[in-house]
Structure 1
Amino acid sequence: MTRERPPHDRRAAAEAFLGAPRFAHALVTVSIAVSILATAIHSTIGWAGLIGVVAGIVVLAGLSLFARRDLIDWQGLLPISLMVFIGWATLSVFWSQYQWATLGGIAYLMAFSAIGLYIALVRDTIQIVRAFGDVLRFVLVVSISLEIFSGLLIDAPIAFLGIQGHLADGGPIQGLLGTRNQLGTVALIAAVTFGTELRTRSIRPELAIGSLLLATVTMIFTGSPLIGGVIVVLAGAIAALYALRRVKPAWRTFAQLSLLALVAIAALIAWAFRARIISLSNAGGELDYRLTLWRQMLVLIGFNPLEGWGWVGHWRSEISPFQAFAVAERVPVSGLNAYLDVWFQLGLVGAVIFVGMVGLTFVRSWLLAGQRRSVVFAWPALVLVVLLTSALFESSMLVEYGWLTFVVCCVKAARELSWRRAFTVPPLPDLQRD
């Protein structure tokens, strides 16, 4: 007979397993995959199955953090702006007219916040980029494979996944993300990730180039004119960041201010030609639909302008006031604009907190990208460009993969450029010329 191991030996073995780098790598990869594939998981096994998977990840992440407690710097654990936003969303349960839905939405928000925090704490930036890269390659390959199967082999839609089977007609395709805009956004984040992997030489060049081609082909077949606008903004950000990283430290402040002035001028020009831009972006009446939805939201915002109706995350068409938007054939599951959606759910106070939070996160990430020598620090800034720009016509930034990715970037940026760490951490060295 084998002697039973003492309890303290079993605990030590469990902590060694949960605190192992390989376990952290596996859990981070699974967490990212679940956040990106949440729509497909929900469509396959329902809300109960998805919530069960997310809850299991949160529990494992908590146990892993406990096992690694001596290896983690707990100072300034969470950005204050992020805590304030989550706190205000939590307080909205007191004035929400659908408290049970608000409680569920807050729990869902906190779950992905906790997972994002775990990822930011246990993995370096390059490790996070690699994990995102592996997951995004899988998602895009499977999405294209399913589109080929649906559009070319059986010539029929895969209804439960939202795949319409239009590949033979040149698109649009939806893949595992449910809509073409969501797939296009994920493909654009993938392009940024694959480009970072190529520049950092973290994977074989041929794999990185092939992945970039895959992301490009996916974006083309989504046929999303809205994604086209994000690509223009992203290209401008890449060019600006490339130039800033080669400016001498003494001139960098002047260069940043000049860039800010150019962005303001570009915004004014875009506003002056807004009618033309709207007409170019209104393929298939997409923008008309959004404008109609936003007008309805503004009317309802007027009833609770400061505090909002209460946080819910994903819209629930069976409860008021979301029932007012479910009268048409197309039932919206979000406000299709993250900023307006936050205003609608959390009022003007919540919108101001949200804009301040995302603005502070982007500024920190942008400064890090310009100061740090390694090109990997450009990844959070460029991913935020995609998220914040696409948030003008989608609300995906508020839930699941969008929120998790934002939390990762927010925590990473805050821990590198936090006033709470300024007394213990020396200032960042200036970027040297390569």
Structure 2
Amino acid sequence: MNPRLARVVDFLQSSDLAAAFATATIGALFATHAIRQLTGDAGLGAITTALCVIGAGMLVARRRELRLVEIMPTTLALLLVWLLASLLWGPSASETLAGWLQLAVPTFLAVVVAQFRDTIQTVRATGDVLRFLLSVSLGLEILSGILIDTPIPFLGIGGNLAVGGPIQGVFGTRTVLGVVTMIALITFLVEWRTRSVAPGVSIFSVSLAAVLGVFTDSPIVLVMAVIAGLATATLALVRRAPLRARSTLQRSIGGAVLVALLLAYVFRPPLVHWLNADPDSPARSRLWNAAIDLAQTRPVQGWGWVGTWPEYMSPYSYIRIITGRDHGSALNAWVDVLLQAGAVGVALLALLAGLALARAWMTATEKRSTIYTWTPLVLIVVLADSVVTSALLGGFGWFLLVVCSVSASKVRGWRRVLSERVDG
């Protein structure tokens, strides 16, 4: 082999590059809003394209370490194929392809990270990125809200820290900041319990995320905090339960979750009203009703996948007219998938998320290390957020779903059984 090519291959195979790639990928996806505001779509596209090229090089250079059957879950592959197939019935092939890439790019990056970094390494990379971004967010909010008392419009910072919020940081909206703080709290607490970082760093990190979460001043964040807290307490209870009692306890928890979901559906009107950014406006429920009504005209295949809603395209322009607001999504990932990919898309997404959560939860209850609790708790936060935003369908939300899904399927599932049989 040519010496120069050999050096390139060695570099692509190095663990240092894998670590840097994971940190850069997570950083780019969590900082998407700030990057787009600073460099435009072209700059963001250049960054993600470069990461994809590097990731492809790593996959080729380290191909002997990979098992094709473990690359991604079957449900994920089927979902991506279904969304791409909507080229055949969607209103615009170019919009469908662009929307599909919104999922394909973070999917590819997540697969690369999941193949070459284990859970604790992913947690460390996520923790480092979120510590930096949340620190920058707090610094800019202090600068805008206290020191110069002036908004920073190009980043979407309103300068409301001095009056108690809401604040947005570098994430564009208070809801996104709230989701990030929940993910950060879980990550920082897992770091603390596993002693991955110094105690002082852990205390600072947890305090930082908690303060920013409070100043988002969002009821949605409060609900997610309650859900995350209940999930953490429940997982801790199951992990401490005797082995003979765990199956009964797991069934009881599953039943309680089903009852809670049923009650949430029955009492959805007051819940939606309370979760509205403007409590006096039923904007969110009106948006969901309009999207569901249109989805019923194409219940199986949907209107064709486009991701973020195009400005001048039916039925999205019609929904904007009905609601009187310039929505770029259904503010609910499931309603968005129902509208764009039909019942088939919803079923595939539900299978992907459900299997990932079930596998991650069972692994966390059986393994002693605290590191295994990160995957199910992050999935729960991301899925809870999917009910009130469409952030799951792209960016860091989709990345986390895919990373957790691939990791869970590698640890538990038919792929592991098949690999063990082949090795045996």
Whether 1:190 aligns to 2:184 is yes
| 2:296 is the alignment partner of 1:302 | yes
SS of 1:421's equivalent in the other structure is helix
| 8 Å CA contact retained: 2:99, 2:307 | yes
Equivalent pairs: percent with the same residue? 38
The 8 Å contact of residues 301 and 345 in structure 2, kept in 1 or not, is answered as yes
Match of 2:370 in 1: 375
- Give the match for residue 151 of structure 2: 157
1:211 aligns with 2:205: yes
* 1:237 matched to 2:231: yes
Distance between the aligned counterparts of 1:279 and 1:101, measured in 2?
A: 33
Partner of 2:344 in structure 1?
A: 349
- Is residue 237–residue 382 contact of structure 1 (8 Å, CA) maintained in 2? yes
Amino acid at match of 1:402: G
Shift of 1:74: 3.7
| Aligned equivalents of 1:128, 1:286: Cα separation in 2 | 42
Give the match for residue 429 of structure 1: none
Asked if 1:396 corresponds to 2:395, the answer is no
Give the aligned length. Answer: 420
**1:206 positional shift:** 1.2
Residues of 2 paired with 1:337 and 1:60: CA distance? 33
In the alignment, what sits opposite 1:120?
A: 114
**Is this contact kept in 2: 1:29–1:135, CA < 8 A?**
yes
Name 2:133's counterpart in structure 1: 139
Q: Once structures 1 and 2 are overlaid, which stretch shifts more, 221-230 or 243-252?
A: 243-252
Q: Which residue of 1 aligns with 2:327?
A: 332
Does the C-alpha gap of structure 1 residues 34 and 329 become closer, same or farther in structure 2, counting only changes over 3 Å? Answer: farther
Three-state SS of the structure 2 residue aligned to 1:171 is coil
Structure 2 residue aligned with 1:70: 64
In the TM superposition, residue 262 of structure 1 has moved relative to its aligned partner by 2.2
Distance 1:275 1:344 in 2: 20
Is structure 2 residue 285 aligned with structure 1 residue 291?
Answer: yes
Q: CA offset at residue 73 of structure 1?
A: 3.9
Contact persistence 2:109–2:399 (CA under 8 A):
yes
- Provide, for residues 182-205 of structure 1, a one-character-per-residue CA deviation record: whole Å limited to 9, x for no partner: 000001000000000000000001
Partner of 1:61: 55
User: 2:142 is paired with a residue of what secondary structure?
Assistant: helix
SS of the residue 1:245 aligns to: helix
Aligned to 1:179: 173
Output one character per residue of 1:92-121: Cα deviation in whole Å (capped at 9) or x when no partner: 111100211111111231111000000100
Q: Normalising by structure 1, report the TM-score.
A: 0.93
Structure 2 CA distance for partners of 1:279 and 1:343, relative to 1, 3 Å = closer
8 Å Cα contact 1:19/1:68 also seen in 2: yes
Give the TM-score normalised by the residue count of structure 2.
Answer: 0.95
In 2 relative to 1, CA 224–42 (structure 1 residues): closer, same or farther, beyond 3 Å? same
Cα offset for 1:295?
1.3
CA distance in 1, matches of 2:332, 2:277: 18
CA distance in 2, matches of 1:90, 1:346: 10
Measured in 2, the distance between the counterparts of 1:211 and 1:266 equals 32
Whether the aligned pair in 2 keeps the contact of 1:361 and 1:410 (CA below 8 Å) is yes
| 1:84 matched to 2:78 | yes
Aligned mates of 1:425, 1:375 — CA distance in 2: 25
Q: 1:387 aligns with which of 378, 382, 387?
A: 382
What amino acid is aligned across from residue 106 of structure 1 in structure 2? W
2:405 maps to 1:425: no
| Equivalent in the alignment of 1:406 | 401
Query: Is 2:6 the counterpart of 1:17?
Result: no
Structure 1 position 97 matched with structure 2 position 97: no
Kept after mapping to 2: 8 A contact 1:281/1:287: no
Separation in 1 of the partners of 2:411 and 2:280?
40
User: Shift of the alpha carbon at 1:44?
Assistant: 1.8
Give the residue type in structure 1 aligned to 2:198: R
CA positional deviation for 1:251? 2.1
Q: CA RMSD in A?
A: 1.8
CA distance in 2, matches of 1:100, 1:147: 39
Q: Which residue of 2 aligns with 1:365?
A: 360
Distance 1:406 1:286 in 2: 33
Structure 2: which 5+ runs fail to align?
Answer: none
CA contact 1:106–1:311 (8 Å) conserved in 2: yes
Amino acid at match of 2:303: W
> What letter corresponds to residue 365 of structure 2 in structure 1?
G
Q: Secondary structure at the match of 2:410?
A: helix
Instruction: Go from structure 1 to structure 2 and tell me whether the alpha carbon gap of 1:293 and 1:272 turns closer, same or farther (over 3 Å shift).
Output: closer
What is the DSSP-based 3-state SS (H/G/I as helix, E as strand, rest coil) of the residue aligned with 2:341?
Answer: helix
CA distance in 2, matches of 1:76, 1:18: 20
Q: Would you say the 8 A contact 2:175–2:220 is kept in 1?
A: yes
Q: 1:286 to 1:409 in 2, by over 3 A?
A: farther
Partner of 2:130: helix, strand, or coil? helix
Following the alignment from structure 2 to structure 1, what is the Cα–Cα distance between the partners of residues 389 and 281? 11
**Match for residue 227 of structure 1?**
221
5 Å-filtered alignment, 1:18-57, equals 18-57=12-51
Aligned-partner Cα distance in 1 for 2:280–2:303: 26
The structural deviation recorded for 1:279 is 5.1
Q: 1:322 maps to which residue?
A: 316
Q: Confirm or deny: 8 A CA contact 1:317 1:326 kept in the other structure.
A: no
In structure 2, C-alpha distance between the alignment counterparts of 1:50 and 1:34, rounded to whole Å? 8
Gap regions ≥5 residues in structure 1: 1-6, 427-434
Question: Aligned AA for 2:353?
Answer: V
